Amino acid sequence: MGLGSHPHLSPTSSSNSKINCLMKGQKRICELIDLHQQQIPYAEAWSWQKEIVSQKKAMFEKEGDCTDTLIVLQHPPVYTLGTASSEDNFRFDMKNAPFDIYRTERGGQVTYHGPGQLVMYPIMNLRNYKMDLHWYLRTLEEVVIRVLSSTFSIQASRLHGLTGVWVGNKKVAAVGIRVSQWISYHGLALNVTTDLSPFSWIVPCGIRDRQVGSIKELLGEVESFTHSGAGTTVSHHPVVDDSALISITHKSLIQEFSQVFQLEYHSCAKEKKTKAYIDKATVEVIVGVAINVHKLIYLLLHNIFPSFIRQSLVEQ
């Protein structure tokens, strides 16, 4: 798939120098924030996306182009609504919702995110590809179709008039995007080992006459793994560990995404974002340890040491 270019870039040596920094050979550089083994709260990941979009807009305004970014992660259980969503598609009382609910600016209806579902949030400058939202949606679907075919020998397809990726009557991947000044965000969600029961409490994507599926469900029992230099292929039919299925699917998604969009991954964004995510947790742990140490010292001074030692310590 060929790469386009922004039609309004000035062909000066300065501009060309800046653009070359965003390319590696014939491929564009894509910053990869890979948190696929972590469950990131939806609100936090949503905030990251909007922050990155703002940064890319500023970068484009200043330099005439910007890098692409791909975030890969899982979410704790959550329902999200798109701009076309209706609360009629909930099969429960909104006041007693089983999970958090977020109304977002992405296109589409209501969907569920949860553990075992791989979510990809591409934040891309579509000026460098095609300034065509239908093309972009179909291309995201193509990534999933290739993953299912090449890695699992599952023949998936699109359905006319419907967004997403389907295997028979079952939707295995939902796609919902937002584009602001031709910078895309939100993206796709692929059910790998997902518990599908929360989908029964909504009308997924507003479609009442079809079902939701997962890779695990479609594979059923798997009998062998075939490892090759090009990747890992799962063919039918021992029981596959959930974490192994997630790992295999993730590897294939990353590979197919880079091939379809002709990208070269750069890991520095992953390191920075992961470091920021870990640092927050680290601070919480340190504070917790400090509090516990303080409590321990208090107990030693006031409950264990003999009174004369306690007095001696006080005098010192």
Task: State the SS3 of 272-304.
Answer: HHHHHHHHHHHHHHHHHHHHHHHHHHHHHHHHH
For the chain, give percent helix, strand, coil, nearest 5.
45, 25, 30
Based on the fold, state whether residues 212 and 306 are members of the same structural domain.
Answer: no
Cβ–Cβ < 8 Å for 111, 117: no
173 part of a folded domain: yes
Based on the fold, state whether residues 101 and 243 are members of the same structural domain.
Answer: yes
Position 87 scores a pLDDT of: 86
Based on the fold, state whether residues 259 and 285 are members of the same structural domain.
Answer: no
Q: Which amino acid is at 118?
A: L
- Stretch 92-111: mean pLDDT, rounded? 93
% pLDDT > 90, the chain: 64
Higher pLDDT, 46 or 7: 46
Phi, psi of 2, deg, nearest 5 = -75, 155
Position 208 scores a pLDDT of: 84
99 part of a folded domain: yes
For residues 80 and 58, give the distance between their C-alpha atoms in angstroms, rounded to a whole number: 28
- Stretch 296-300: mean pLDDT, rounded? 57
Residue 172 has pLDDT above 60, yes or no: yes
Residue 196 has pLDDT above 50, yes or no: yes
Reported as half-sphere exposure (CB side, CA atoms, 13 A), residue 250 has a value of 23
Residue 37 has pLDDT above 70, yes or no: yes
3 part of a folded domain: no
Based on the fold, state whether residues 69 and 142 are members of the same structural domain.
Answer: yes
- Stretch 275-295: mean pLDDT, rounded? 53
Is 66 labeled as catalytic in the residue annotation? no
168 part of a folded domain: yes
Position 276 scores a pLDDT of: 52
Count CB neighbours of 133 within 10 A.
15
CATH number at residue 254: 3.30.930.10
Please say whether the dihedral angle defined by the alpha carbons of residues 297, 300, 303 and 306, taken in this order, is positive or negative. negative
Residue 270 has pLDDT above 50, yes or no: no
Position 267 scores a pLDDT of: 79
| Total domains present in the chain | 2
Q: Confidence class of residue 51 from pLDDT cuts 50, 70 and 90?
A: very high
- Stretch 136-149: mean pLDDT, rounded? 98
Worst-scoring range by mean pLDDT, 23-27, 185-189, 199-203, 296-300? 296-300
Mean pLDDT of the chain: 81
pLDDT, tens digit (0-9, with 9 covering 90-100), for 64-101: 999 999 999 999 999 999 998 888 899 999 889 999 99
Based on the fold, state whether residues 304 and 159 are members of the same structural domain.
Answer: no
Work out the angle between the directed axes of helices 242-261 and 133-152 (0-180°, nearest 10): 130
Dihedral of the alpha carbons of 247, 251, 256, 258, in degrees to the nearest 10: 140
75 part of a folded domain: yes
Position 296 scores a pLDDT of: 61
Based on the fold, state whether residues 164 and 186 are members of the same structural domain.
Answer: yes
4 part of a folded domain: no
Residue 131 has pLDDT above 50, yes or no: yes
Q: Which amino acid is at 153?
A: S
Based on the fold, state whether residues 227 and 126 are members of the same structural domain.
Answer: yes
64 part of a folded domain: yes
- Stretch 271-292: mean pLDDT, rounded? 52
274 part of a folded domain: no
Reduced to 3 states (helix: H, G, I; strand: E, B; else coil), residue 169 is: coil
Based on the fold, state whether residues 304 and 235 are members of the same structural domain.
Answer: no
Residue 187 has pLDDT above 90, yes or no: yes
Based on the fold, state whether residues 82 and 136 are members of the same structural domain.
Answer: yes
Higher pLDDT, 194 or 313: 194
- Stretch 265-282: mean pLDDT, rounded? 55
The whole-model pTM stands at 0.76
Residue 86 lies in domain: 13-266
Position 220 scores a pLDDT of: 86
Based on the fold, state whether residues 52 and 197 are members of the same structural domain.
Answer: yes
Based on the fold, state whether residues 311 and 166 are members of the same structural domain.
Answer: no
- Stretch 127-143: mean pLDDT, rounded? 97
| Catalytic residue selected from 30, 66, 205, 268 | 205
Based on the fold, state whether residues 26 and 151 are members of the same structural domain.
Answer: yes
Q: Confidence class of residue 306 from pLDDT cuts 50, 70 and 90?
A: low
- Stretch 211-236: mean pLDDT, rounded? 66
Please say whether the dihedral angle defined by the alpha carbons of residues 281, 285, 286 and 288, taken in this order, is positive or negative. positive
